[in-house]
Amino acid sequence: MRAGYNSSPFEIVFLMPTFSSSLISWQREHGRNDLPWQGTDPYRVWLSEVMLQQTQVATVIPYYLRFVASFPDVVTLANASEDEVLAHWSGLGYYARGRNLHRAAMMIMELHGGQLPQQYEQILGLPGIGRSTAAAICAQAFHERRAILDGNVKRVLARYCGISGQTSKRAVEKELWRQAELLLPDNDVATYTQALMDMGAMLCTRSRPKCSVCPVQDDCIAMQTGRVNMLPTPKQKKAVPERTAAFLLAISDGKILLEKRKSSGVWGGLWCLPQFDEEDDVQNWCALHGIEPDKLIRHPGEIGEPADSKAQCEALIPFAHVFTHFKLHITPLLLYLAHKPQHQEEHVWLEVDQALQTAIPAPVRQLLSRLANL
């Protein structure tokens, strides 16, 4: 039972200490105990926590296994090129994570002798590491008593503690951190940390939560007050901005043109197809490179080499790619060239199969896979 309530919008004053012990017992019997990074070294714990930022476990596992096969330790990762690292990250999304991971590995080599530091403040100082990620690394790699608060944990605590309000709001997040600290056990912190994440992923899910088998349902305020589906307070839905772009598949002698993006922004550091705001901009690109393509074909078509050897530009079937904050409508434009344009920096011509092995974003991989399967 609860000790009481106050008049604040956060309702909770005291919580029974059985929360942590109940979660620990549940996790040992029903939680995820066979994840490939569990029971390993701090490097692998760090890598997994970075990959798990805003990404589900099932998606992360194959990327994690390929990554550690190529970069088994900090030394190997630090000595790799950014292109090599991003090629292994290709398709996982949020590419700043991969760039920051690489930068952090080089920092660890320079400042910490190639060993992931154990101090929370030093881990927090690494690129791409925030408060919750640093705490998760400390708890699971070094068994340090630290509270975490990722998206899943926010949902668990908002329901259990009856905390209303959008979790992104400063006051609400502050209260969630306070409760996260209060609920920390004195022992078995690594198991408890995993239990919180497992609860959010397996039982206390966003929709259709499995409250009937929850180990703390008797003390859960959302459960007892009939507000499970109301907490956390949903964000106000906003219209997703929509943008358009044309992707150019320029092919010459069986090779395709890729250009490297600047290190910042969407797909920073990745190899991409030349991108234009509008289809007509391709004509300007062609003129700049001394290319005289036939008139742009406006109707959708299938990928296939034209019968003649002239330069020809064809509009393929458009498709959409959804980012976190906007949707991009992409029109692929296929252009066969008898001669390659003059060499430019940050541009390469690669066989399609070779291009598929490089650091490319998901929609580019989708288009190149269609080419490779012809």
Phi-psi region of 254 (alpha: psi -120 to 50; beta: other; left: phi over 0): left
Distance CA 311, CA 335 (A): 7
Torsional sign, CA 42, 48, 51, 55 = negative
Q: What are phi and psi of 12, to 5 degrees?
A: -85, 140
3-state helix, strand, coil in the chain (%, to 5): 45, 15, 45
Report residue 36 as tokens.
């490939």
CB < 8 Å & 24+ apart, contacts of 29-32: 30/198, 30/202, 31/194, 31/195, 31/198, 31/202, 32/57, 32/194, 32/198, 32/201, 32/202
Nearest CA to 274 among 324, 331, 312, 316?
331
Catalytic residues: 49
Judge whether 90 and 361 are in contact, CB under 8 Å: yes
Q: Output the six-digit token pair for 159.
A: 């329901």
